[in-house]
């Protein structure tokens, strides 16, 4: 299966994903993105990102080999479709953490992906989280909140919604969604059809 965690900037996607992956056994593979930016100190190709050139990335876009992608500050970031397809064919469940626009690209290309929308308890708490980062001006934060309002309206395109009021509680809800999806009869049926030789 392909699980996708998405939501507005500052909602805590990375924090929830990291906490989920610390729980054992989670049996999930974290999706590795490709990027055209240079590796930062300590980053390893094929573990942190697939580092590539701009021309190669654009070739992959034109060949339909990117599941989703975006451009930020003159660099591309995106998910190679072949890597996701290979992992799923091997029976691995893959977990992605991406922005809302990327999630909508995935929804269009992988209809059976399970999309989880992470919500802030309210917009004031989202503002507080963005301010606590200390990395952006008030104008940038205002713009992010404006975008967040628009993204929250897109929540109905997702399969599930989880409020991130406390990280542990949000992680438990995401894990519950994963467990429930793994127990769906239609997913188990294929294995049993082979056993019964139907």
Half-sphere exposure of 178 (CA within 13 A, CB side): 23
Contact 10, 99 (CB under 8 A): no
Q: Is 81 annotated as a binding-site member?
A: no
Q: At 89, is the secondary structure helix, strand, or coil?
A: helix
Q: Is 7 annotated as a binding-site member?
A: yes
Q: Is 12 annotated as a binding-site member?
A: yes
Q: Is 100 annotated as a binding-site member?
A: no
- Helix extents (H) in 90-166: 100-109, 123-133, 138-152
Q: Is 8 annotated as a binding-site member?
A: yes
Secondary structure (DSSP) of 8-48? STTS-HHHHHHHHHHSS----EEPPPEESSPPPTT--BTTT
In sequence order, what are the residues at sequence separation of 6 or more whose Cβ sits closer than 8 angstroms to the Cβ of residue 101? 68, 70
Kind plus residue range of the DSSP H or E element containing 192: helix 185-196
Q: Is 16 annotated as a binding-site member?
A: no
Q: Is 191 annotated as a binding-site member?
A: no
CB count within 10 Å of CB 114 equals 19
C-alpha distance from residue 114 to each of 57, 95, 110 (Å): 26, 10, 9
CA distance 13 to 136: 18
Annotated binding residues, written as ranges, equal 7-14
Annotated binding residues for ATP, written as ranges, equal 7-14
């Amino acid at each position: 299966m392909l699980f996708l965690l998405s939501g507005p900037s500052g909602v805590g996607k990375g924090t929830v994903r990291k906490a989920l992956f610390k729980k054992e056994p989670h049996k999930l593979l974290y999706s590795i993105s490709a990027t055209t930016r240079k590796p930062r100190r300590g980053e390893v190709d094929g573990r942190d990102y697939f580092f590539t050139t701009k021309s190669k990335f654009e070739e992959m876009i034109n060949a339909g080999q990117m599941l989703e992608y975006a451009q930020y500050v003159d660099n591309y970031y995106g998910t190679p479709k072949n890597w996701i397809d290979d992992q799923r064919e091997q029976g691995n469940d893959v977990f992605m953490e991406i922005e809302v626009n990327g999630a909508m690209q995935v929804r269009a290309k992988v209809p059976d992906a399970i999309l989880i929308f992470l919500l802030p308890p309210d917009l004031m708490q989202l503002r507080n989280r963005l301010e606590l980062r200390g990395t952006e001006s008030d104008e940038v934060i205002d713009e992010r909140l404006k975008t967040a309002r628009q993204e929250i309206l897109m929540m109905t395109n997702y399969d599930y919604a989880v409020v991130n009021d406390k990280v542990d509680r949000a992680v438990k809800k995401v894990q519950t969604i994963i467990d429930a999806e793994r127990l769906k009869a239609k997913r188990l049926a294929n294995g049993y059809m082979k056993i019964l030789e139907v």
